[in-house]
A = this chain, B = another copy of it.
Amino acid sequence: MKVTKRKTAQHRAALVRAAARLFRGRGIDGVGVAEIGKAAGLTHGALYAQFPSKGALAAEALRQGLDRSIAYLTAPKHNHRPTLRDYLNRYLSRSLRDNLADGCPMAASASEIARQDALVSARFSEGFERTVDAVQAALGPSNSTASERRRARAIVAAMIGGVAVSRAVLKARPRLADDILTAVREVVGEVGGATTR
């Protein structure tokens, strides 16, 4: 049976969509390959024809999720490039924290990536460094004596940690969860030389 090019592309897109949704909701380790195929309406064979391993599928889902979240983060505001303050307000927001499905896959999966294979680590690294590029370009003057690259890397690590920790405490301590977002926005804004508001 011949599968057309178009059909193949559709299968691929359906698999990546299903994988991204299931990984975010239940964790990369919590979902099996067979289940992803089923959720996408495909047979095991059709899945393996597209992705030789769960790792390859996870890497592709991560790449697409990063593209989406970086596009959201860096979207122009009133036709201007966003400021560092915009980045912090967008990334460390309650609405993004409460919306696991559309949020940044680095914050959603940070502590799970270490258990995946090198291809997934490579995709994560690219997403991290692209986000660092954007933050570095938006840095203002500050009292820090660290290099701009280090400053930007520390800021992005704090942004990812801030969202992950805020989500982790949310069910038990919602007010603490909000204060963590505020604290990281405030302190990281100072480090990055962000203008107020």
Contacts and interface: CB of A to CB of B under 8 A. Distances in A.
A87 interface: no
Interface stretch (A7-15, A33-41, A45-53, A160-168): A160-168
A19 interface: no
A75 interface: no
Interface in A81-108: 100, 106-108
The majority secondary structure among interface residues of chain A is helix
Interface string A145-181: 1100111011111111110111111111100100110
A11 to B, nearest CB: 26
Number of this chain's copies in the complex = 2
Contacts of A173: 121-122, 125
Given A27-B27, A161-B158, A124 B169 contact: yes
B160 A164 contact: yes
A156 B158 CA distance: 9
Interface string A99-130: 01000001111111111011101101100110
Given A27-B115, A190-B145, A157 B168 contact: no
Contacts of A66: none
Given A30-B115, A128-B169, A145-B190, 12 more contacts: A110-B168, A111-B167, A114-B171, A118-B172, A124-B169, A144-B190, A146-B186, A151-B183, A154-B158, A158-B162, A158-B188, A160-B164
Interface of A: 25-30, 100, 106-115, 117-119, 121-122, 124-125, 128-129, 143-146, 149-151, 153-162, 164-173, 176, 179-180, 182-184, 186-188, 190-191
